Amino acid sequence: MKFYNREKEVRFLKTYCQLEPNSILFVYGPKSSGKTTVMLRVIEELSNREDLVFFYYDLRKYATPTKEEFLTIFFEKSDKKYIPNKLEFNLGVFKFGIEKNQDFKNPSLNDVFAKINESINTVIKDGKKPVLIIDELQKLKNIYFNGNNKEGKSLLNELFNLFVSLTKMEHLCHVICLTSDTLFIEEIYNNSTLKNASEYYLIDWLNKEDIKKILKEEGFDEKEINYAVNYLSLPYEVSQLINNKKLGLSVEETVRQWINIEKDKLQYLIANAPDELNENKINEILDKFKNDIKVKNEEIIKKELINEFKFLVNNEILFYDVINGIIKPTSIKKWHAIKELLK
């Protein structure tokens, strides 16, 4: 898919990677807003610098990993402390290296973190700056060491302690975490371990003026553009609209298809919601968006609505921006589908 106008975001992240590490950066935004694409562009544009070493892990490529799978994903047996990531070879990014005879069948967290620190320190000794990037970090939430389930130590909680040490305390390594799970961002935001040790950067919907510019370059006329911008918000939607035009579909036909599909999905979701959820409460939440595309958090996040709210967020109907204090549909076309459903 074509890389659409994200110069501001790329510039911010490129600059961030070159500053002294001082906090964990959480890059968040609606699903498909382009977080991964922007981050990969940053890596690509900084790849010619010999003073930066990127450790990049894309957890979207895996089912929710087990402890053993986590070790396989993050470590590679080698005589070097950091080696090219074979699964991301074209990016020129690295994995943490461990000794070829290392037995990782039942390691402790101290063993794991010692190996991460060895790799980080080796990069620094080589006169380079390490940058650790983990895409969809929340997929590690249910991994425990030194015990079964919640009897053991949470990998994610312990990783946060390590990340604080690497960034805020020792200033050794940048740690950048990407996620579209905004309930996870809420957990992070309220995590006392990360207070004053984390920053947040939103990669949101495309700007309307940028969308207009893209469509004009692609040969859309003024009438088509003025109609389309009322429904477009995400990069893949722009690509799909362009492709559909080439296939002979009008802008109106594409938009109508989108809204019908989204409305049907929403109806099915509500009809098949778990029994413990109240359909009237779901509709009460959705009704907040009948006239407004953005709603303040306190209008929805109430004790009596919290389970229904989380249901809509987890199913990517609503986007919860705890940092800026707003809730909105995950896309503009989703907003139109909600309004159609409420008629």
Q: What is the pLDDT of residues 158-210, one digit of tens each?
A: 999 999 999 999 999 999 999 999 999 999 999 999 999 999 999 999 999 99
Contact (Cβ atoms closer than 8 angstroms) between residue 183 and residue 306: no
Q: Are 162 and 116 in contact (CB under 8 A)?
A: yes
CA 96/CA 117 separation, integer angstroms: 9
Break the chain into its structural domains and give their ranges.
Answer: 7-202, 208-342
310 CB neighbour count, 10 Å cutoff: 16
Give the phi and the psi of residue 296 in degrees, each rounded to 5: -70, 145
Q: Which CATH architecture has domain 208-342?
A: Orthogonal Bundle (1.10)
Distance separating alpha carbons of residues 68 and 60, to the nearest angstrom: 17
Quickly list H helices, 90-206. Answer: 109-125, 155-164, 182-189
- What's the topology of domain 7-202? Rossmann fold (3.40.50)
Q: How far apart are CA 308 and CA 275, in angstroms?
A: 11
Nearest to 201 by CA among 33, 20, 318, 4: 33
Q: Which residues of 145-155 are buried (b: 16+ CB within 10 A; e: fewer)?
A: beeeeeeebbb
pLDDT by position in tens, the chain (length 343) = 466 678 999 999 999 999 999 999 999 999 999 999 999 999 999 988 999 999 999 998 888 888 888 998 999 999 999 999 988 878 899 999 999 887 777 788 898 999 999 999 999 999 999 999 999 999 999 899 876 666 678 999 999 999 999 999 999 999 999 999 999 999 999 999 999 999 999 999 999 999 999 999 999 999 999 999 999 999 999 999 999 999 999 999 999 999 999 999 999 999 999 999 999 999 999 999 999 999 999 999 999 999 999 999 999 999 999 999 999 999 999 999 999 999 8
One-letter amino acid at 108 equals: S
